[in-house]
Structure 1
Amino acid sequence: MTMHRPATQRRPGLIVAVLAMTGVVATGIQTLIVPLLGQLPSLLDASAADTAWVVTVTLLTSAVAVPISGRLGDMLGKRAVMIASLVPLIAGSVVCALSVSLGAMVVGRGLQGLGLGVVPLGISLLREVMPPQRIGSAVATMSASMGIGGALGLPFAAIVGQTTNWRIMFWTFAGLAVVALALLVWIVPAGHRPTPRPRFDTRGAVGLSLGLVSLLLGISRGASWGWLSLPTLTCAGLAVVCLSLWAAHQLHAGAPLVNLRSLSDRRVALANLVGLLISFCTYPLSYVIPQILQLPASTGYGLGQSMVAMALWLAPGGLAMLAIAPVSARLSARFGPRTTLSLGALVIAAGYVSTWWLMGSPWGLMIVVALCNVGVGMAYAAIPLILMDAVPPAETASANGFNTLCRAIGTSVAGAVIGGALAASATQVDTFTAPSAPALHAVLLVGVGLGGLACLLAWAIPRAPQTGSPAPALVGAGQGTRS
């Protein structure tokens, strides 16, 4: 128990709002750079290949930070680690705002990536500081913050980038992060800390970091380096060696960074696999659909929208994730999170199917994105409930952090596979390099197939074992031991 508990019960809505705002700020920072990508070479006096590191470095640092911050959250307290994570995020935003060179921008974006563990930490903290009957809806709202951040961050960055000084957007998010930090300290209770405190697995953290950096670096840069080039193969080899040694260490460590033995529980293993598949499915929403909106009509399928118009057409999709949050919570309460997860994956597949009729107009694509994001919101609201029911309270943040890592890997693999496939089919149309229409249809068809597979795997998640008392996560979702 914690001394803040009575205060928590008097203001649960405010606590959820603060944690969700923190998640919106953190995830919004990821999309800030998108409108600047084409201008970065001239802004930073560097080549396009070099400025790609501005995106890559955030991916690498966040992949390392998320599982480590999750474990530290279980050890030191989730709120304390959330506060600590916001410090490099703020510092990185300031560095980016002041950058006049590529090196400074890369450093700033790397620091921002270190703060992206706040979303799984916030979801895990809800288990400790919310009244049991509010956990399900709170988790759904917090999960939706991932979509809202991207949905609002992109149009904001596009408008600022085209109408005023691009540095303003980094200063704005730095200020928002400072406000989020202050509200965390002032409003959100600390939650629990284990006693005695477990030891931190330094060897595991180093091994996982080396393995993930090698893996994601090879995936993200393989297309530009060449998939059979020495740098790419070296990264692949290092990833296999480091991650194999890391997994062996985790299975024998007394206090592992990530409890891989929990993967023997089919609920945990399938929830992580479904999370990876769904993150793969979401990639076309942020890569393929924007291209269709912006490419000229002379391509045969482009809709000729500006960057700002494209961002505004996509924005309602993120808000759809927020709108579906209370519905997801009620579905999980009534039928169990497994059903919500399976239905969410099915909605994603249906969204991609609808592209065959709705690809011809911006309104149609807005509906497609909103429909897919409804499914994503349902899925991401259900996965933490499944994990919290399956793992001990002392491993909640680690489990959610590992799931976030699985989703990051899914997105990275999707970027390499889809980006490579579309690049291979690209042709010159006027002054634009555009992928072929059949390649785009094939990518969307993959979204249908993987969404359907995720639906089946979600339905295969077993029911929670019956116990004498209800599991915390499921009580929080408003149900007993049904799943």
Structure 2
Amino acid sequence: MTAPSTDSIPLPDRFIDQRPGPAGRSTRLVAVLAFAGIVVSLMQSLLIPLLPELPRLLSAPPTDTTWAVTATLLAGAVATPTVGRLGDMFGKRRMLLISVALLIAGSVIGAVSTALVPLIIGRVLQGLAAGVIPLGISIMRDELPVDKLGGATATMSASLGVGGALGLPAAALIADYADWHVLFWVSAALGIVAFVMVATLVPESPLRSGGRFDVVGAVGVSGALASLLLAVSKGSTWGWSSPLTVGLLVAAAALLALWVAWELKNPAPLVDLRVTARRQVLLTNLASLIFGFAMFAMSLVLPQLLQAPTTTGYGLGQPMLVVGLVMAPSGLVMMAVAPLSARISRAAGAKVSLMIGAAIVAAGYGLNIMFMSELWHIVLVSMIIGAGIGLAYGAMPALIMAAVPMSETAAANSLNTLMRSIGTSISSAVAGVILAQMVLTVGPTVVPTQDAFRIVLAASAASAVVALTIAAFLPRARSTAPARA
């Protein structure tokens, strides 16, 4: 029988972790895990400044060099649910260390690469570290006193956006003034620091779910996700009606249906779909997917708008370094509002934090449609959107953890992180089609029209409103304490 959601029934004290824990130890744990999360999320923006130059640097066609980004996306999608389940079974700290070690290995391979294939291998290994953030949230749930858990998990969740925002100016600066391999040496060094900090300061939780690892389930969901994301990310290049794209989408649907049937009958599934089907978990994951779509448009539209030639009448003609500096404050705002998200969640429920965050993101995009002609306009709207993302991302793990057993925390948080990633991938594909179809030729440069930018911004605002509407149907929370096992 499915246990009732803790959103409707307050938990007895025996189900709540009341350990006091020294304040200094809690602070160190949060700092270490958040740092590891930021290092991993830096991989999202690591190659963005280099993308136009990769064909020349690697002597490869532009259509092939995009695999340096696509490979990381696919590897992260495959790794996230699998690593989460392995963490629940064999130790979250152990899997966290393995994930960071893979990031280091991938960074070193990228640093010594002079051709496309080894670079893609390195980027795959970097992508396999994507499970660090959900693992970190789960470790926090196991180790922190209940009064510090909300703010800590909000900070960890926000690190997913912080790393991407802060990584762009850093990567642009390195790409402008140093050999491109330095990007990977720096990421390797940061990975080593994160590994040492985790190894020395993060304890291993004795909590285990037990059981056997669902190899069939892992292969099935990996195949479904890889097919889906490959079709979504490459569809505009291959053609949305091409046999390859359509075949991958059909394969994804078929594999997903088979995977669901297998997981429901398996006594030790990779993902407990019965827990996932609980109203709070299901709606939170759906809102996360839609919100992921809304969030990523900021990273797609604003940099292109900033770099578009001034002769278009709307472009700001800025170099990549300035673009990174303009976008960086949004990452700082995400981190700054994470504690606020936790306070709102304690006072009114994580549902309210998610709804407020979605409303702020929608307002930010709406404001951007009207104001996009000055640098300070872009800084302002990116900070507003960043604040909304920080509030919403801080609420999502609280909603998930309040509705799943402690023994399944890592797997549940990994699935939620995956939903956000799928949303961003779909956003990238949809926005890419719009921005590629509505273009303006200015000399030798082809850039999206102002109307194309506005359509993507409007679609993102609408997505945030949809996420807000879904969140409104979440159960009203009386407790955000961990759910009973």
What TM-score bracket applies, with the shorter chain setting the length? over 0.9
Q: Provide Cα deviations, 1:447-468, integer angstroms capped at 9, x if missing partner.
A: 221111111211210135x7xx
Q: Within the alignment, does 1:25 sit opposite 2:34 as a pair?
A: no
**2:238 & 2:369 partners in 1: Cα distance?**
35
Asked if the contact 2:42–2:164 (Cα under 8 Å) also holds between the matched residues in 1, the reply is yes
Partner of 2:9: none
| Cα deviation digits, residues 405-425 of structure 1 (max 9, x gap) | 111111111111110111111
Paired position in structure 2 for 1:302:
315
CA RMSD in angstroms comes to 1.6
Q: What amino acid is the match of 1:326?
A: P
Q: In the alignment, is residue 212 of structure 1 matched against residue 221 of structure 2?
A: no
Q: Distance in 2 between matches of 1:67 and 1:474?
A: 20
- For residue 52 of structure 2, the aligned residue among 26, 38, 45 is 38
The equivalent position to 2:469 in structure 1, one of 449, 456, 461, is 456
For 1:424 and 1:172, locate their aligned partners in 2 and report how far apart those are by CA, in whole Å: 37
Q: Alpha carbons of 1:8 and 1:80: their partners in 2 closer, same or farther (altered >3 Å)?
A: farther
What is the match of residue 407 of structure 1? 420
Post-superposition offset of 1:358: 2.3
Amino acid across the alignment from 1:472: A
Aligned match of 2:241 in 218, 228, 242?
A: 228
Moved beyond 3 Å, runs of 4+? 5-10
5+ residue gaps, structure 1, are 476-483
Q: Distance in 1 between matches of 2:295 and 2:183?
A: 25
Percent identical: 45
Selected match of 2:340 from 310, 322, 327 = 327
Aligned to 1:262: 275
Please list the CA deviations of residues 362-404 of structure 1 after superposition, one character each: whole Å capped at 9, or x if unmatched.
1111111110111111111001001100011111111110111
1: CA distance, partners of 2:327 / 2:298:
9
**Aligned counterpart, 1:345:** 358
For residue 125 of structure 2, what is the amino acid of its counterpart?
Answer: L
1:234 counterpart SS class = helix
Equivalent residues of 1:386, 1:473 under 8 A apart: no
Q: Choose from 167, 173, 196 the match for 1:159.
A: 173
Matched ranges for 1:423-462 at <5 A: 423-462=436-475
Letter in 2 for 1:372: I
Partner of 1:149: 163
Match in the other structure for 2:108: 94
Matched residues in 2 for 1:302 and 1:338: separation? 38
2:125 matched to 1:111? yes
**SS of the residue 1:433 aligns to:** strand
Q: Distance in 2 between matches of 1:374 and 1:219?
A: 28
Aligned partner (choices 56, 62, 80) of residue 70 of structure 2: 56
Structure 2 letter corresponding to 1:150? G
Q: Could you say which residue in structure 1 is the equivalent of 2:80?
A: 66
Indicate the residue corresponding to 1:80 in structure 2: 94
1:336 aligned residue (330, 349, 353): 349
Output the amino acid matched with 1:368: V
Query: Is the 1:8–1:189 Cα contact (8 Å) retained in structure 2?
Result: no
Change (3 A) 1:6 1:441: closer
Whether the 8 Å CA contact 1:8–1:15 is kept in 2: the answer is no
- In structure 1, what is the equivalent of residue 390 of structure 2? 377
Inter-partner Cα distance in structure 2 for 1:316 and 1:131: 31
Deviation, structure 1 residue 337: 0.3
Decide whether aligned partners of structure 1 residues 10 and 302 sit closer, same or farther in structure 2, where only a CA change above 3 A counts.
closer
Q: C-alpha offsets along residues 179-220 of structure 1, whole Å, 9 cap, x if unaligned?
A: 11111111111123326x211100000001111111111111
Q: Contact 1:225 / 1:231 at 8 angstroms: preserved in 2?
A: yes
Counterpart position of 1:472: 481
CA contact (8 A) 1:90 1:174 kept: yes
Paired residues of 2:232 and 2:425 also in contact (CA < 8 A):
yes
Distance in 2 between residues matched to 1:51 and 1:225, nearest whole Å: 15
Aligned CA distance change for structure 1 residues 134 and 367 (closer, same or farther; 3 Å): same
Matches of 1:249 and 1:142, distance apart in 2: 32
Give 1:176's match in structure 2, choosing from 180, 185, 190.
190
Match of 2:52, SS state, is coil
TM-score by length of 1: 0.94
Q: TM-score, normalised by structure 2?
A: 0.94
Q: Distance in 2 between matches of 1:255 and 1:299?
A: 58
* TM superposition shift of 1:47: 0.3
